[in-house]
Chain A
Amino acid sequence: MNRKLMIWMVVPVLVTFLTGCPKKKPATPPADIPVETEVVDTPPPATTQEVVQTPPPVTEDEVEDPMLSADLQVVNDELRRRGFSPDVFFEYDEISLSDETRERLARNAELLKAQPTFQVTIEGHADERGTNEYNLALGDRRANAVRDYLGSLGVDGGRLRIITYGEERPVCTESAESCWSQNRRAHMIITGRASVG
């Protein structure tokens, strides 16, 4: 308190000592103050360039058998009609597969082994609770858990592609367990067909 006051009393003394007594009182703007000049230039406009690469579209001829359709939506619908489960669900913050999930995946595995050219994408999802970053990792682990199980049932791992969406692509957006339980899922979808080998 007193010390602070002292500073402001010392300052003018120092000022006087170091600069000498000013002959005239400084007017505003004072003529005797060295003014540093800085030119601030307008920045050049940023160019807008994106490095977006789009994968080539899948083009194939349409055929009679829906399983052979070039339209993957038709293929996915037909698979579902035959008992393929596009979704399996998880408990909160869990990656373990329930008995019901294992049964569904077993049916999926049979259908996939019968169609060896199908490329499958397994999406991992989480509910909105928790952080976006951790949920991305959780989704990746869920998708991998499904891939590993399908692999153990004889589905070639090379046909199974993983992608995590974490909590970024919810199917249900209300903040309630009825919704969260639908979002904690691995979603399986046919996204391509390999040339027969």
Chain B
Amino acid sequence: MRSKALALTASAVLFVAGLSLPRIFAQEPPPATPPEQDPQVTLVLPNRGQRPLIKLAIPPFRGTQTLSGAAAGAAREMEQTVRRDLENSGYFEIIGPDRIGAVTWSGDMQRDVEPFRALGAETLLLGDLRAEGDRIVFEGRLFDIASAQPILAKRYRGSATVSRRIAHTFADEVIRYLVGKPGISLSSIAFTSDRSGHKEIWVMDYDGQNQRRITGHRSTSMSPAWSPSGDALAYTSFFNGPPSIYVADMATNRKQPVVTSGSMNTTPTFSPDGGRVAFARSEGGNVEIFSTDRSGKGLRRLTHSNAIDTNPSWSPRGSEIAFTSGRAGNPHIYLMDSEGANQRRLTFDGDYNDGASWSPEGDLIAYTSRRGGRFQIAVTNVVTLATRVLTSGAGENESPAFSPDARKIAFVSRRSGRKQIYVMDITGGNVQQVTQEGNNDMPDWSRIPVEP
């Protein structure tokens, strides 16, 4: 009875909030770093549910002091992770412990929400932690402060080793509930790193945590590309001679060859149904785009130009492929149907464009663009061709990859010396460095949360 009523209330809240979104929240924030030079056509960035920030109070989680040892550390990590995930999402103004101060709980919610209401908070997030044997139990709740009513309650139970995962899961629940959009807290970024002495494929959580090596070829491995379901990574490796395409199974860590014949097979990208891989392949010195199924069968040639055609990126709906071609003299981004027809040029600005990454919404393509002798990250609308440069200055900004919610872009920069991976909003603002060790390159952001 009650739970049904609550569910109704929940959908009513979402319904009201969802209805009012487009009309109220049309204001577009300006980019934090203005582009170095004005592109011919300025791209008006799409509104990805951009809205005034939801004022969310997160007082210190309760029960942490009752935990000890590994559980205590895991509890602290959980609290930080929930707070950081919600902050990173860009949907919230977090009112944290620094503004909240000491809290006393009377058990009477009408009275207990009062200090948070006084701080201007709209929603209150309460976290409770306790130990249950060697497991941690986390309960997360949301309260609407205006009514002092609970609106979401979730309980998670797991060992200390999955504390981050629990925190990410709850953070995405909060985002889904309050914003109505899927979060990216459980997404992963694949990349290359030379920190082990060889360029290998690595994977990390979206926030830079939990960095782990996937390949151990002790050769050169590069260009990782997630399968749409996150069950596999396609990549290029030199470990058995000429650069060839392999697929690493994320569950078993087994590596399978896809295409190894010929002098060069590079830059794989999965079709959105996961069934095919498009890549660049040399046929007697003519580098062209091909596609094949995941086991290397059914090879199809998609391009037929005398210039280099390379680095394909499959569109999220599967009907098109973006790629780089030198057919106009300099490398530029082109589009074609996924079977090779209807080839047309996308980019006209910059004198060296490569590394297309298709937005999961299908409207934008991000790529590396050389402007005035410097590499920058640019985005172009695939319909209007309107373009915007998102980075500026020195530092060789390269290799963009869209986040699964299409609101962020991971990229590589040398701005701090070595090549490191950074994440920024699609406005170009809020830049955060996520790798530190060695040279790190070629990020590819998973499409949906990856099961470990």
Contacts and interface: CB of A to CB of B under 8 A. Distances in A.
Contacts of A140: 263-264, 282, 285, 287
A141 to B, nearest CB: 5
A164 B162 CA distance: 43
Interface string B159-183: 1011001100100000000000000
Contacts of A164: 242-243, 263-264, 282
A120 interface: no
Interface in B303-340: 308, 310-311, 324, 326, 331
Contact of B310 (A10, A11, A46, A133): A133
A52 B161 contact: no
Interface in B105-139: 105, 107-110, 112, 122, 126, 128, 139
B452 interface: yes
B264 A50 contact: no
Contact of A38 (B122, B154, B236, B238): B154
B240 interface: yes
B153 A141 contact: no
Pick the most buried of B139, B161, B243, B256: most chain A CB atoms within 10 A of its CB. Answer: B243
B243 A8 contact: no
Nearest to B17: A7
Contacts of A132: 222-223, 441-442
B191 to A, nearest CB: 13
Contacts of B285: 140-141, 143-145, 147-148, 162
A5 B1 CA distance: 30
Interface in A86-141: 130-134, 136-138, 140-141
Given A39-B158, A47-B252, A141-B287, A15 B139 contact: no
B155 A36 contact: yes
Interface residues of B, number: 91
Contacts of B255: 49-51
Contacts of A168: 199, 220, 222, 238
Contacts of B354: 130-131, 133-134
Chain B binding surface SS class: mixed
Contacts of A161: 263
A40 B156 contact: yes
B439 to A, nearest CB: 11
B302 to A, nearest CB: 15
Contacts of A42: 158-159, 161-162
A163 interface: yes
A163 to B, nearest CB: 5
Interface in A11-28: 11-12, 14-16, 18-20, 25-28
A195 interface: no
B105 A28 contact: yes
A133 to B, nearest CB: 5
A35 interface: yes
B3 A11 contact: no
Contacts of A12: 144, 146-147, 149
A53 interface: yes
B342 interface: no
A47 B253 contact: yes
A81 interface: no
A134 B308 contact: yes
B398 interface: yes
Task: Kindly state the interface size class of chain A when it binds its partner.
Answer: 35 or more
Contacts of A178: none
B280 A137 contact: yes
A15 B159 contact: no
Contacts of A133: 223, 266-267, 280, 310-311, 324, 354-355
A40 B158 contact: yes
Interface stretch (B7-15, B40-48, B385-393, B402-410): B7-15
Contacts of A10: 16
Contact of A136 (B141, B149, B169, B266): B266
Nearest to B215: A50
B111 to A, nearest CB: 8
B310 A27 contact: no
B284 interface: yes
A32 B311 contact: no
Contacts of A52: 217, 239-240
A41 interface: yes
A161 B215 CA distance: 26
B71 to A, nearest CB: 14
A11 B146 contact: yes
Interface in B235-262: 236, 238-243, 246, 250-257
A30 interface: yes
B6 interface: yes
B156 A162 contact: no
A33 interface: yes
B449 interface: no
B238 A18 contact: no
6 contacts: A7-B16, A18-B8, A29-B153, A38-B157, A51-B254, A134-B326
Interface of A: 1, 3-4, 7-12, 14-16, 18-20, 25-30, 32-43, 46-53, 55, 130-134, 136-138, 140-141, 143-145, 147-148, 161-165, 168-169
List 3 A-B pairs, minimum CB-CB distance, nearest first. Answer: A144-B285, A12-B147, A40-B158
Given A14-B9, A42-B161, 20 more contacts: A3-B24, A7-B16, A7-B20, A9-B146, A11-B16, A12-B144, A29-B153, A30-B150, A34-B2, A38-B169, A40-B162, A42-B162, A43-B451, A51-B255, A132-B441, A134-B311, A136-B267, A137-B264, A138-B308, A148-B285
